[in-house]
Amino acid sequence: MCLVFVAFATWAVRTSDPHTPDAWKTALLANVGTISAIRYFRRQAGQGRRSHSPSPSS
């Protein structure tokens, strides 16, 4: 999922015209989407690590 958002951000920035007045909106949306995806990926990876760790024995 993270890679999908990074790919989308790259596509959005490359296909937009940087000389238009609204180019900053495209860059902002691409960056926010990518950062959100990275945060989600890190959160999921952290939960996966915790769920696979052996439970302490009494």
Q: What would the pLDDT profile of 3-47 be if each residue is shown by its tens digit?
A: 777 787 788 778 888 888 888 888 888 888 888 888 888 898 888
Work out the pLDDT band at 1, boundaries 50, 70, 90. low
- Give 8: exposed, middle or buried? Use CB within 10 Å, 0-12, 13-18, 19+: middle
Which positions ≥6 away from 31 have C-beta within 8 Å?
Answer: 9
- Give 30: exposed, middle or buried? Use CB within 10 Å, 0-12, 13-18, 19+: buried
Question: Is 28 a member of any domain?
Answer: yes
Question: Is 48 a member of any domain?
Answer: no
Write down the pLDDT at residue 57: 57
Query: By residue range, what is the domain housing residue 26?
Result: 2-42
The structure's pTM equals 0.57
Question: Is 12 a member of any domain?
Answer: yes
Question: Is 6 a member of any domain?
Answer: yes
Which positions ≥6 away from 28 have C-beta within 8 Å?
Answer: none
Write down the pLDDT at residue 36: 85
Question: Is 14 a member of any domain?
Answer: yes
For the chain, the domain total comes to 1
Question: Is 13 a member of any domain?
Answer: yes
Tokens representing 15?
């296909």
Question: Is 11 a member of any domain?
Answer: yes
